[in-house]
Amino acid sequence: MIIVLLGPPGAGKGTQADKLSAKLGIPKVATGDVLRAAVRDGTKRGREAKSYMDRGDLVPDSVILGILQDVMTSPAAAKGAILDGAVRTVPQAEGLAAMLKEIGKKVDKVLLFDVEDDELVNRLSTRTVCEGCQTPYMGREPGSTCEKCGGRLVRRKDDEPEAVRNRLDVYRKQTSPVIGWYGDHKMPVLRIEADAPVDTVTSRALKALGK
């Protein structure tokens, strides 16, 4: 099963992708995580992406479609994937659909996590993430230790107020049209009210998926 997760920054896509991955037994593919790892490793892809990410802008579609091509044709994605933030523009939705068609697959479900802007800003301004495994935390100071892998918790550069404002703006202008695109292509977007405790949101998502 291939599931696309949509939603504004801070809506909980990463948090829910981990939960759904564990429940459904299919891997999570988070383009943000792949790009941050590339930046950390200083690869060509990472050098190309860094300045876009620091400002909260989208990296070019060609970079994202390159990542999706690598991942979706790999054996790890044979049973499907949960695509966390991997589709943020209409050309990315079109490119993914074409790429999947070539290997006899398609997007099966699209989930949209819905949260008010005030709550998004609140979540992002207090978030820390593990610099190793990327797990996000609320209410934990930078420099603390990750419970999952023992890595160090840090603040993300794009969680600074100016970058957060830009990310919300970019979401409205460039990513919202993706919702209509899926609707137009007979792929109804399943809207999840996501301003609720994490486990409640997971239950809502599983119900929407018919699980």
Residues involved in catalysis: 13, 88, 127, 156, 167
- CB of 184 vs ligand AP5, minimal distance in Å: 20
When the beta carbons of 104 and 156 are compared against ligand AP5, the nearer one is: 156
When the beta carbons of 58 and 81 are compared against ligand AP5, the nearer one is: 58
Write a three-state SS string for the chain. CEEEEECCCCCCHHHHHHHHHHHHCCCEEEHHHHHHHHHHHCCHHHHHHHHHHHHCCCCCHHHHHHHHHHHHCCHHHCCCEEEECCCCCHHHHHHHHHHHHHCCCCCCEEEEEECCHHHHHHHHHCEEEECCCCCEEECCCCCCECCCCCCEEECCHHHCHHHHHHHHHHHHHHHHHHHHHHHHCCCCEEEEECCCCHHHHHHHHHHHCCC
- CB of 201 vs ligand AP5, minimal distance in Å: 5
Interface residues with ligand AP5 (CB under 6 A) are: 7, 9-15, 30-32, 35, 52-53, 56-59, 64, 85-86, 88, 92, 123, 127, 136-138, 158, 167, 196-198, 201
When the beta carbons of 44 and 104 are compared against ligand AP5, the nearer one is: 44
When the beta carbons of 104 and 123 are compared against ligand AP5, the nearer one is: 123
- CB of 94 vs ligand AP5, minimal distance in Å: 13
* Residue in the shown chain whose Cβ atom is closest to ligand AP5: 32
- CB of 18 vs ligand AP5, minimal distance in Å: 8
